[in-house]
Structure 1
């Protein structure tokens, strides 16, 4: 019994996947998300309270430093007395007694110090010698960055003399380059965290910088550590880090007063310890799902993927021009219809392409006939006037030469019915045209050809190069005081779609006008009726039709003056074997000559 592919996919999908998907959805939502949300909510509230209290402590210390710097008279007098005076010593003793009293009053306050260029007064709950050495090293550097702490922010600092290396520092400027500062040790913050979190039943807490680097890690008194030393501080209620049994649910809160963040990590296995059998069942179900899904893929491969692959392969071959390819039909209704439709379409395209190709050939022949009919009347009349003038002057030799060149020129025009001619024939036609023009501009016009003889057997459409030479003389030869020189030379250039034979036509005239050059490069029609420009558009179109994009024309201006036209043609097979040798002599003339009859 035939069934549509839609019916087969729907029935097999619901029969195999629906029970498993429903079970996995229930398991994941209950065992993971619900538990994570509830646990993280509890710990986040406690963490918010702890970080809020920590910020409150730092704000109280900020107020204390401000009062000490601004309101305390003895601190102000320190800057008024010389360091070695008795008044300075007595004032220093009073200040030292005050800060010794205050250092134990504020929570988390590790050290209070007063720094100027000549002296450091401090009181600390830590090791006196280490703190004195630390302030001697770091106080000048900290004072240099005091502007970063004017908004009340505590700066994160580090020094090996501080237990745990990391500490927070706050600096308030006083009069006469005097600074009142305070230090909070990260290890003291960790001690408060351990009291609240590290009880071997909850998890582990840690302090991080805002960049996610763990701080004061060597001071941890527990064997358990967070899965990674550095932790990305994401703006989420919680994040999961680690893998396998080492997965942790991590909650993070950043301080508003300092560049630190407090994190609490809870092992996931402790949160899910009530669901072990449910989790193990999921693993077995996943294994069964993999097996069932593999069988389902084999079924899909046979019923869907293979016919689709054949269809895609047929489309690729059709796009490459292999119009004789046909698809095999299958037992599936949809793919049987698609195969029959594809085969009918391929047959129609084959017939259509043959008709279009024949139409293109007819169009090319019509364009060639049109080009033959586009003889510039001015050129024809000027040539007759030249013959008449030579006859009046009884210069019979010039009349003979002129008539002979005109006969060869028009004979070529009237007889180019072939699809292609040799490069040699095209160059001879150019020579006749140039020689006729030389009678108009004696001693003012020259055409030099630099193309090796062995390249001149290459085939190309008739009248491919002559319109560019005609255009150069008509539009580029404006300064009649200097000799106008047209150079034609050949090159072999590498390209992605195969090597090209490049015929370069350049002159020493005025070059293309910028507007004309821009329109030529964009392939737009020029607003002119001269046959030379009409011939250029005709050449570009014929090359496009003849070589299907394998040939083209490039227009440019020479920086030294004059126009440059490059006609790129597919390299003939007989020249491919000589490519290396030809490239090495580009620009060297195997046969340099003036075009036309002498």
Structure 2
């Protein structure tokens, strides 16, 4: 069985409050986080731009010095007579003298090139290498470099390989060097510099305790750095057209500049925490506020639920019960906000007043209904009263004192019953006795013209029915059906029936008169009062009205004509043991 979620209306105040809370808090948290990362990006960009400019400036100086050294090499190859004599000497003495002059010239000029570690001239035919070094170059390094140069330049000469047109990088005994070589006849003229010499001034630049400056070759491999550096931790092969973050968690900023004179680049690597060294407190505070707001959001929802939604739900629950008619419920007293306590107290007081008002209105309706019933019952009395006086008058005219006495006794019983007929219900036994007394009065009025038969089971004697229910229809039959030509037979049958396990009392009143006309039946079925040339006849309407007031829709009256003639009235009353 699946989980059933409660239905929440989009117009519910609880949903609106929760949405409003998210609408307010989520943008604020997002703004704080965005401001935090935006500040970090601004600082990082500023640091990147500053270091990019610094690296570009220093790379420009390196390129300038390399270009000046390259111009000196070109000058030696094209305009120096002694270098030309070394290429094509007329004699051995001329070669040695030119070599000596070139050596003296280079020894004097090398002091002007601080960024160049050595100049050299190599005669491939003679296998003679002339080189001049800076005083800072050690003897062992000189031997290593000279050995490499002889081997490297012989390889170029033997293979007729094209000499590079710019400064290029070579590895010599685990050290990286930048070389520039020009071929002039049989001579190779050039210069070289240890990459440590070029990077030396970068140690004077403050890149932080964890910052690092380095020279990289064209393949992106580090040749030398100001601090210990591991190539596998960072990718330097992307080029340096723009700064970028690298390493798995993007905690290193890389800026650099590629040399215009050689096949190498100068780069600076700055840790992210070094860049943001002035922002840790602000960053920490913003993150703390953001995460605290996120963590407090469920607590805010819980507080909102307990302080607002729960009291509101109690009030709604009571209102739903009241809407179903249960006006005796009240909002229970719970510890809540002052505003809700005042609302609950006012609501309970209002419901108490409504309940009292409802009781008063109900009692007033009962009194009104009782008065209306009494009025309906008394509507019958004047009509019968006039008829009985007329009978007594006729009997007095013929001086039939015995019938006058019998009639008077019957009238006493009749009016005694009528005086207590202001009750809503009487027993069936009392109603039948009254009906028989009434029939006896009518038999005295119409001797030998009227006969009535009443049949019912004895166990219904204590059944309570509205008074004058049966007598009204008998009176109507006698009034409209009795003639002097033919005697009328009346029958009253009562029995207990059942429909769908619901018991009811069936009362059938029949006569052998002329029955109802179609116009009268239509008026009766429509619930209208019957009016003809003799005036308004309210008997049937009166009984239907009283039954409606007492039983509602549980009682019914049907009027139709019997076969072959006569009127039939069928009354169905709900069966109740007590009232």
Give the shorter-chain TM-score range. 0.3 to 0.5
The TM-score, its normalising length taken from structure 2, stands at 0.42
Which structure: larger Rg?
A: 2
